[in-house]
Amino acid sequence: MIRGYAKFLCKDCGHEFEGLDIEYRGTAESQPLPCPQCSSMNTKKSHAIFKTKPLVYRR
């Protein structure tokens, strides 16, 4: 399930980027996204879930 957008932090290069906050295997965890700078999958959310921007649907 897509919960909105969140900021992610790469643990390898330290790059902070924004991406979709996707539920990981039906848990409260977020699925790791590949870093756009170094292509590493070693990423995590950089802040709490209540600070995410909601996903806005357009008609």
Domain boundaries defined on the chain:
2-51
Q: How far is CA 7 from the centre of its chain?
A: 6
Q: What is the pLDDT of residue 58?
A: 62
As a residue count, the chain comes to: 59
User: Tens digits of per-residue pLDDT, 2-25?
Assistant: 888 888 999 889 898 988 888 888
Q: What is the pLDDT of residue 34?
A: 92
DSSP code for 46: S
Structure tokens at 43: 């990423």
**Does domain 2-51 fall into CATH 2.20.28?**
yes
> How many other CB atoms are found less than 10 A from the CB of residue 25?
6
Structure tokens at 54: 């909601």
